């Protein structure tokens, strides 16, 4: 069994256009295929260590009914302009579980950008490993988010 999921999609846009969505807290809400991300507060991220808040609704997953609505703090872990962004989440569980989400962008000359979405739980705490709840987000949801990202970029996000 693996502790990481990766999905990829070729998007007919530049890395900069795609990165503009991925660095905007509202961009994360706009492209979410799980239905959990409801809204966000915070400024566009520009470096590792930057944070923003996402207002969540766990009901869409139907896995932990008592969670309902809650907030998480997203902390950028890796940041390489137009190439890589990843983050960890701190929510109700303290300290955090240790899972990481992110995107790698690979320019494909004459075709756009290969976008690789990843979800890695290899560094989760032993307590969460024993709980056997990972992955929380499915490969299908990651792929769906890439499809929404493609559509969102084609529609000209972010609109000025």
pLDDT in tens, 87-124: 999 877 767 788 999 999 999 999 999 999 999 999 99
To which CATH superfamily is domain 4-154 assigned? START domain (3.30.530.20)
The per-residue pLDDT for 125 is 86
Q: How would residue 70 be classed by pLDDT, with cut points 50, 70 and 90?
A: confident
Model confidence band, residue 83 (pLDDT cutoffs 50, 70, 90): very high
pTM over 0.85: yes
Q: Tell me the C-alpha distance between 91 and 72, whole Å.
A: 4
Q: Which of residues 96 and 12 earns the better pLDDT score?
A: 12
pLDDT at 63: 66
Counting other chains too, the contacts that 130-136 makes at CB distance below 8 Å and 24 or more residues apart are 133/63, 134/3, 134/99, 135/5, 136/61, 136/63, 136/99
Please give the structure tokens belonging to residue 47: 């470096």
Mean pLDDT score across all residues of the chain: 91
Angle at 147 between CA 145 and CA 151, to 5 degrees: 115
User: Using 50, 70 and 90 to split pLDDT, how confident is the model at 1?
Assistant: low
**If we measure between CA atoms, which residue out of 85, 66, 83 comes closest to residue 75?**
85
pLDDT per residue as tens digits for the range 117-157: 999 999 998 888 888 888 989 999 999 999 999 999 999 98
Give the model's pLDDT for residue 93. Answer: 72
Distances 105 to 27, 83, 85, 151 between C-alpha atoms, Å:
16, 5, 9, 16
pLDDT exceeds cutoff 70 at 34: yes
Q: Does the structure show a pLDDT above 60 at 160? A: no
């Amino acid at each position: 069994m693996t502790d990481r999921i990766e999905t990829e999609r070729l998007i007919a846009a530049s890395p900069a256009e795609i990165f503009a969505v991925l660095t905007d807290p509202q961009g994360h809400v706009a492209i979410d295929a799980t239905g959990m991300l409801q809204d966000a507060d915070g400024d566009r991220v520009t470096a590792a260590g930057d944070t923003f808040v996402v207002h969540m609704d766990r009901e869409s997953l139907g896995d932990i009914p008592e969670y309902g609505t809650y907030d998480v703090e997203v902390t950028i872990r890796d940041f390489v302009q137009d190439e890589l962004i990843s983050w960890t989440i701190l929510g109700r569980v303290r300290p955090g579980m240790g899972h990481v989400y992110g995107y790698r962008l690979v320019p494909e000359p004459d075709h756009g950008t290969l976008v690789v979405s990843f979800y890695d739980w290899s560094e989760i705490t032993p307590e969460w490993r024993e709980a056997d709840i990972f992955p929380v987000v499915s490969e299908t949801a990651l792929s769906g988010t890439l499809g929404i990202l493609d559509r969102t970029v084609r529609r000209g996000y972010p609109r000025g």
